Amino acid sequence: MVLPYDDVRNLPLPDLSLRLLKSLGTEPNFNNLIQGFKNRGYGEPQPPDLATMLARLSDAWAWLESHALVGPSAQNPPGGWHRVTTAGAEVANDPNAVAKVWAADRLAGALHPALSSARSNFALGDYETASFAAMKAVEVEVRRVAVLPNDLLGVNLMRKAFSPKEGVLRDPGAEAGEQQATADLFAGAIGAYKNPASHRTVQFDDPMEAAEVVQLADLLLRIVQRADARLHP
């Protein structure tokens, strides 16, 4: 499949990259790709923005490589030969698999160290465990910093730790409504995403939602981190 000029000119880079992926054979060659694009319409004048379009194709190829959708060929590495990876073939053949790429992008940056287990489970495609592990990490860290007993669990633990009246982790510099909102935020997150998985099997197959739960846990852990810094300057 030859990519239309207008697609190469105008599509956002991720969309162009995925369109390019679908046009590749199982053993693509970047040099051949570029030469084929340059020489299409043999005998016709080349478009004036050809150099810009070639640069965009190069960017799209780099995007595919950075997301492990295209990789070096194990059978024929010299001369720029590559292969569409297992993940690349899945994305090219299943429109729903694209969500995994976007979700993984959400977690590409630095996360709180306590979320290493959640990140590992997410990478394995176990989104239920990733979400549970992320919120469990929040529970463990809240209990540790607030020095509260192990038999205080879930929502009750959050209410105790962030109580506007006596919560060890409340921000004394915030007004009462903000303190209550923070307590509600922690209790709601634990109640919605940690407690259900503790008691029953939860069907959690949306990678984007799982990534956002992990991101929410990261935000909560950073709030706990700030409370820890106030308690132990």
In this structure, is residue 119 part of a structural domain? yes
Beta-bridged to residue 83, according to DSSP, are: 71
Total number of domains in the chain: 2
Residues 117 and 224 in one domain: yes
pLDDT tens digit sequence for 64-110: 999 899 998 877 666 678 999 988 998 888 877 788 888 888 888 89
Residues 40 and 118 in one domain: no
Please give the model's pTM, rounded to 2 decimal places. 0.75
The 3 state secondary structure assigned to 179-227 is HHHHHHHHHHHHHHHCHHHHHCCCCCCCHHHHHHHHHHHHHHHHHHHHH
Residues 88 and 178 in one domain: no
* DSSP 8-state code for residue 41: S
Q: Residue 72 sits in which domain range? A: 5-93
pLDDT tens digit sequence for 179-228: 999 999 999 999 988 866 554 455 667 888 889 999 999 999 999 999 99
In this structure, is residue 53 part of a structural domain? yes
In this structure, is residue 103 part of a structural domain? no
169 compared with 94, residue with greater pLDDT: 169
Residues 19 and 58 in one domain: yes
Q: Where are the beta strands (DSSP E) in the chain?
A: 70-72, 82-84
pLDDT tens digit sequence for 9-25: 999 998 899 999 999 98
Residues 123 and 215 in one domain: yes
Residue of 181, 190, 131, 182 whose CA lies nearest to 156: 190
In this structure, is residue 107 part of a structural domain? no
In this structure, is residue 219 part of a structural domain? yes
Q: Which residues contact 120 (CB under 8 A, 6 or more apart)?
A: none
Residues 209 and 177 in one domain: yes
In this structure, is residue 108 part of a structural domain? no
**CA-CA distance, 44 to 27, in Å (whole number)?**
29
Residues 80 and 124 in one domain: no
Residues 80 and 117 in one domain: no
